Amino acid sequence: MDQTETQPRVPDHFTGDDFSPFRFFTAEQWAAFRADTPLTLTEDEVRRLRSLNDPVDLDEIRRIYLSLSRLLSSHVESSQLLFKQRKQFLSLSNVAKTPFIIGIAGSVAVGKSTTARVLTELLKRWPSSPKVDLITTDGFLYPNEVLRRENLMDRKGFPESYDVASVLRFLSDIKAGQPNVRAPCYSHLTYDVLPGEYIYIDRPDILIFEGINVLQVRDLPEDGKIVPFVSDFFDFSIYIDADEADIHKWYVDRFMNLRQTAFQKPESFFHRYAAINETAALAIAENLWETINLKNLKQNILPTRPRADLILRKGPNHLIEQVALRKL
């Protein structure tokens, strides 16, 4: 008998297999975990929070986000209890609690921003009224001037286009409880970091850190030195998932819709695409997807999916169909 036939097959894909480190739930099963978690958002608020082409509504909040809010509440409470126990164990006196950091990853156009904004508002409205802040990694991109000089404009959004050292310093200061930690600001209109403009984060109870590559790892050193990953600072991580074909469609649809809105503004980096005909614009959107965003998804983003604590998988209608929660 061929020796390979006697070896057990280990699954290498995203399934509910017994080998998986995740437990899988349909959206309906997941909704049942809401229990008595109250709905604290209105339809108008959800409409303001969602991104272009994202159909999330109050039904989706009830099905998915209230259960997620309840889960995160239990994680935050457990983290706070563990902090108190460790403080007592180490006989520490003047050490303030550290913020609970939630990382949100996933492809461009998959809906990370909507998830981050909705969660931020839901968490703020817990009975304990925690201070919740949201930061995206866009501000930590190198300025366009630097990207052009390094010939990286066509790899914007790839790991090498970010100032990872600045990201690590920011998260380290947040975890250390430093006051007024600054993060650089980014403009999606001008498609560039805003020079000299910052947002200041002052000792939040919870920080949501959102970006396509926040679960990315780095090469390990041969000498065993400590090499921190961005995700080392996370207490909980979420990956927004969908089929490649669906993300492709959402990206192109968003690009075409932006031609009628943001791209119309003269100061927009993409203003030149507003005036061309639809056929030419569609060809440009397809090329941007194939040469930049799809490559980044396959090479850098999708491989980080198994590192998340929770995976929210969307269907073609942009609504979540399946939830995968890492086993304890």
Q: For the whole model, what pTM was predicted?
A: 0.92
The answer to whether 109 is annotated as binding is yes
The answer to whether 91 is annotated as binding is no
Q: Work out the number of other CB atoms within 10 angstroms of the CB of residue 311.
A: 23
- The pLDDT, as a whole number, for residue 226 is 82
Q: pLDDT for 20-36, tens place per residue?
A: 999 999 999 999 999 99
Which residues of the chain are modeled with pLDDT < 50?
A: 1-14, 16
Q: What is the layout of strands, in order, in the sheet containing 100-106? A: 22-26, 320-326, 310-314, 236-241, 100-106, 206-210, 132-136
In angstroms, the CA 29 to CA 235 distance is 25
Provide the CB-side half-sphere exposure for 266 (13 A, CA).
Answer: 0
The answer to whether 281 and 259 have CB atoms below 8 angstroms apart is: yes
Q: What tokens were used for 3?
A: 């020796």
Q: pLDDT for 248-267, tens place per residue?
A: 999 999 999 999 999 999 99
What type of residue sits at position 157? G
Q: Which domains does the chain have, with CATH numbers?
A: 21-89+96-326 (3.40.50.300)
Residues 6+ apart with CB under 8 A from 80: 97, 100
In angstroms, the CA 8 to CA 49 distance is 47
In angstroms, the CA 107 to CA 247 distance is 8
The answer to whether 139 is annotated as binding is no
Dihedral sign (CA 257, 193, 218, 216): negative
Instruction: For 202-215, give the DSSP string.
Output: ---SEEEEE-TTTT
The answer to whether 111 is annotated as binding is yes
Enumerate the H helices of the chain as residue ranges.
27-31, 43-49, 58-60, 66-89, 112-124, 144-149, 164-175, 244-258, 278-288, 294-296
Q: What tokens were used for 54?
A: 């994202």
In angstroms, the CA 194 to CA 109 distance is 22
What type of residue sits at position 176? A
In angstroms, the CA 300 to CA 21 distance is 21
The answer to whether 157 is annotated as binding is no
Residues 6+ apart with CB under 8 A from 189: 262, 265, 267, 268, 269
* Distance, C-alpha 84 to centroid of its chain: 29
Q: How many DSSP H helices and E strands does the chain contain?
A: 10, 9
- The pLDDT, as a whole number, for residue 223 is 83
Q: pLDDT for 210-240, tens place per residue?
A: 999 999 987 777 788 888 899 999 999 999 9
The answer to whether 107 is annotated as binding is yes
Q: What tokens were used for 186?
A: 């980014």
The answer to whether 164 is annotated as binding is no
| CB < 8 Å & 24+ apart, contacts of 141-146 | 141/186, 141/193, 142/193, 143/192, 143/193, 143/195, 144/191, 144/192, 144/193
- The pLDDT, as a whole number, for residue 225 is 83
- The pLDDT, as a whole number, for residue 19 is 83
The answer to whether 113 is annotated as binding is yes
